């Protein structure tokens, strides 16, 4: 059984444990989904989301629909 030698972090969006590896192109996020969500959170202030698909994450606060 191998011990994980790679560094683990928590995804800033969903707090899920993520392996910090070069293979993870979405780090520090766990997935492109969370990367886009984080992008969407600050982009929402500018209302400048362009073209990229956006999938809401499960949160208590609701994102305003455009």
Residues that bind Zn ion (CB under 5 A): 11, 13-14, 16, 30, 34
Q: How far is the CB of 24 from Zn ion (least distance, A)?
A: 11
Query: Which residue matches tokens 């992008």?
Result: 39
* Nearer residue to Zn ion within complex by CB, 13 or 36: 13
Q: How far is the CB of 46 from Zn ion (least distance, A)?
A: 23
Two structure tokens written together for 10: 């928590």
HSE on the CB side for 5, CA within 13 Å?
Answer: 2
d(CA 48, CA 8) in angstroms, rounded, equals 32
Q: How far is the CB of 1 from Zn ion (least distance, A)?
A: 26
């Amino acid at each position: 059984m191998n011990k994980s030698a790679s560094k683990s972090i928590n995804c800033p969006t969903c707090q899920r444990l993520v392996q910090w590896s070069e293979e993870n192109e979405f780090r520090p996020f766990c997935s492109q989904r969370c990367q886009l969500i984080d992008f969407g959170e600050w982009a929402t202030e500018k209302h400048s989301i362009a073209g990229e698909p956006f999938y809401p994450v499960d949160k208590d606060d609701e994102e305003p629909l455009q």
